[in-house]
A and B are shown apart, each in its own frame.
Chain A
Amino acid sequence: MRRTALLSVLVPVGVLALTVLAWHLVVTLGDVETYDLPAPALVVETLFRDWSILGPALWVTLKLTFTALALAVVGGVALAVLMAQSRWIALALYPYAVILQVTPVVALAPIIVTRIPDTQTALLVLAFVVAFFPILTNTAQGLRSVDHNLRDWFDLNGAGRLRRLWHLEAPSALPYFLTGLRIAGGIALIAAVVAEFAAGSSGAGSGLAFRLFEAQYRLNTPRVFAALLLLAITGVAIFALTSLLSAWALRNWHESAVPRDR
């Protein structure tokens, strides 16, 4: 058991180390130009050297991502609960949720950016639109997946709509909601980056995507890679955070989170 736990850390870390080593060797031995592919050490060095530019940009992107995610949780759950109350509400609203989802955020960006004067607000709206859908659909699915007999049992025991929602439907939907949250967390970051590319915001309030774009334009490839590295780390961190939250919330009962005895 201990050995498996150790290996499950060592194997991915080892592969990562080998990949970075291979990258390093390709650049140094292959005589590759820095503006084509910077060495890993240079990328890390640039990350620290340019932190005064990249740090604030990361903060802007993080704020945007998490605000969009928080709004998506509130809006997605609220709409899912509303749709679970009545089939007619669901039928009336669902098409709009789908239309918003299937329209590419890149296509939507110019329309929204030109209509909302504040760029950060426009970006927030774009990231929200993208993150909102998986939370809505997963939560709605969860609310519909309540065991029929348990529903009957709650009726027999005189539970009203509110108490049934709180004591039965909400816990039943929790694993579904958490799946939605994991998906939404990842794509909220992507949406934040894509929206910023599309909107082309600049100046003091600009996020990582703009800095990446700007560095690319100036052929400052080490900084492009440093920004890319930050985005990747952020994405992994969001995934890890939402996965941990999910495992913690379901630790006592759900098959996905309960360790199996052999």
Chain B
Amino acid sequence: MTAGGAIRAAAIVRLTSVAKTFANGVRALDGVDLSIAPGEFVSLLGPSGCGKSTILRLVAGLSSPSAGAVTLGGSPEEAARIRREIGFVFQEPTLMPWATVAANVGMALKLRHVPHREVQDRVAEALALVGLDSFAKAYPRQLSGGMKMRVSIARALVARPKLLLLDEPFAALDEITRFRLNDDLVRLWHEFRWTVLFVTHSVFESVYLSSRVLVMSPRPGRVVRDMAIPDAGRSEAWRMSPEYNALAREVSLALHAAMAEAA
């Protein structure tokens, strides 16, 4: 069930035999190979500390591999362009507390030298996408955890990213909020078709959201299973369906196998 050769050739993100050892000697990743085609929604699923977040940081260029190669697109020019068009959502909302919601979202454009008028329009548009139009003037401390996360997502979307990197963005939220944000994310992905790399430790979340799930082994992390998820139209009904549950079961078994193998 691995992705075919045609997809590999057109990969937007590719990691080849990537290893990462930190200064304190921790081997976070070893022999990671993966490639992501444009428009895919790929989940990286694995236990805590398996180096999922490290992969995101490597792709974003916030960190460099100890061995192997991280390539974006087909050429160095394309890599530079893609790197400028990365939207990154952290585990925490990571907002500037001194700035309003609108200013937080707008900063992504301001730093890209977008003219002021255009910033206003695009911020309004991005806030509408996440259902926060009426909170533009609020400060982060006035918002709930879920709303802060929506602002963080709007901030990633406003720059119209080609590649969206999400680092367990919903891990700290309650289940109801989490389901709603999952649905929002799926809806937006269907609308904009960015390439998404989504880090999670939730089996159900990964199966619900993704077009592909990569299961990782514990430290040093490695991709041990690559599963395609059929697009059955994400909905509440699908979440209840036997097909969905069968897929979740299969992913779950793969995760357990990976952990047992390491132990």
Which residues of A are in contact with B by a Cβ distance under 8 Å? Answer: 147, 149-150, 152-159, 163, 167-168, 171, 174, 252-254, 258
Q: How far is the CB of B82 from chain A (nearest CB, A)?
A: 12
Tell whether B98 is near chain A: CB-to-CB under 8 Å. Answer: yes
A-B contact pairs, 30 of them (CB 8 A): A147-B94, A149-B90, A150-B94, A152-B60, A152-B62, A153-B90, A153-B94, A154-B111, A156-B61, A156-B62, A156-B86, A156-B88, A157-B107, A157-B108, A157-B111, A157-B159, A158-B84, A158-B111, A158-B112, A159-B111, A163-B111, A167-B110, A168-B96, A171-B98, A171-B99, A253-B97, A253-B98, A253-B99, A253-B140, A254-B97
**Bound state CA distance, A155 and B57, in angstroms?**
12
Report the Cα distance A222→B84, complex, angstroms.
Answer: 72
Tier of interface size on chain B: 20 to 34
Q: A149-B90, A253-B139 are in contact. Are A156 and B60 (CB under 8 A)?
A: yes
Q: Does B92 belong to the interface (CB within 8 Å)?
A: yes
In the docked arrangement, what's the CA distance between A154 and B62, Å? Answer: 11
A95 to chain B, nearest CB (A): 28
The chain B residue sitting closest to A157, CB to CB, is B111
* CB neighbours of B96 from chain A (8 A): 150, 168, 171
Residues of chain A with a CB closer than 8 A to B107's CB: 157, 167
Contact of A252 among B84, B90, B108, B139 (CB under 8 A): B139
Complex: A159 Cα to B107 Cα, angstroms: 10
Bound-complex Cα distance A138 to B112 (A): 31
**Are B98 and A174 interface neighbours, CB within 8 A?**
yes
Say if the beta carbon of B141 comes within 8 Å of chain A.
yes
Across the two chains, which residue of chain A brings its CB closest to B83? A156
Which residues from A are CB-within-8-Å of B111?
Answer: 154, 157-159, 163, 167
Q: From B84, which residue of chain A is reached at the shortest CB distance?
A: A158
Q: Which residues of chain B have C-beta atoms less than 8 A from A168's C-beta?
A: 96
Bound: A38/B92 CA distance, A: 63
Closest beta carbon of chain A to B219's beta carbon, Å: 22
List B residues 129-169 near A (Cβ within 8 Å): 139-141, 159
For A250, the closest partner residue in chain B by CB is: B98
Cβ contact within 8 Å between A253 and B141? yes
Complex contacts, B112 vs chain A, CB 8 Å: 157-158
- Other A-B contacts than A152-B88, A168-B96, 13 sampled, CB-CB below 8 A, are A152-B62, A154-B111, A155-B62, A156-B61, A157-B107, A157-B112, A158-B111, A159-B111, A167-B107, A167-B111, A171-B96, A171-B99, A253-B99
CA distance A42 to B110 in the complex (A): 63
Minimum CB distance partner of A249 in chain B: B98
Q: Is A252's CB under 8 angstroms from B62's CB?
A: no
Say how far B104's CB is from chain A's closest CB, in angstroms: 10
Are B98 and A153 within 8 A (Cβ)?
A: no
Q: How far is the CA of A253 from the CA of B90 in the complex (A)?
A: 21
Point out the residues of chain B lying under 8 angstroms from A157, CB to CB: 107-108, 111-112, 159
Q: Which residues of A contact B108 (CB under 8 A)?
A: 157
From known contacts A157-B107, A157-B108, A158-B111, infer whether A252 and B98 are also in contact, taking CB-CB under 8 Å.
yes
* A-B CB proximity, top 9 nearest: A157-B111, A149-B94, A171-B98, A253-B98, A253-B97, A159-B111, A149-B90, A152-B62, A253-B139
Cβ contacts under 8 Å, A258 to chain B: 141
Given contacts A155-B62, A156-B60, A156-B86, contact A149 B141 (CB under 8 A): no
A152, A159, A168, A258, most chain B CB atoms within 10 A: A152
Give the CA-CA distance A254 to B112 in the complex, in Å.
Answer: 28
| Identity of the chain A residue whose Cβ is nearest the Cβ of B113 in the assembled complex | A158
CA distance A171 to B204 in the complex (A): 40
| Complex contacts, A150 vs chain B, CB 8 Å | 94, 96
Report B76-119 CB contacts with A as 1/0, cut-off 8 Å.
00000000101010101010111100000001101110000000
- Give Cα A150 to B98, complex, Å: 13
**How far in angstroms is the closest Cβ of chain A from B208?**
26
Say how far A54's CB is from chain B's closest CB, in angstroms. Answer: 43
Q: Within 8 Å CB of A149, what residues of B? A: 90, 92, 94
Contact flags B54-77 to A (C-beta < 8 A → 1, else 0): 000000111000000000000000
Q: Nearest Cβ distance between residue A160 and chain B, in whole angstroms?
A: 9
Segment 24-72 of B: residues with Cβ below 8 Å from A: 60-62
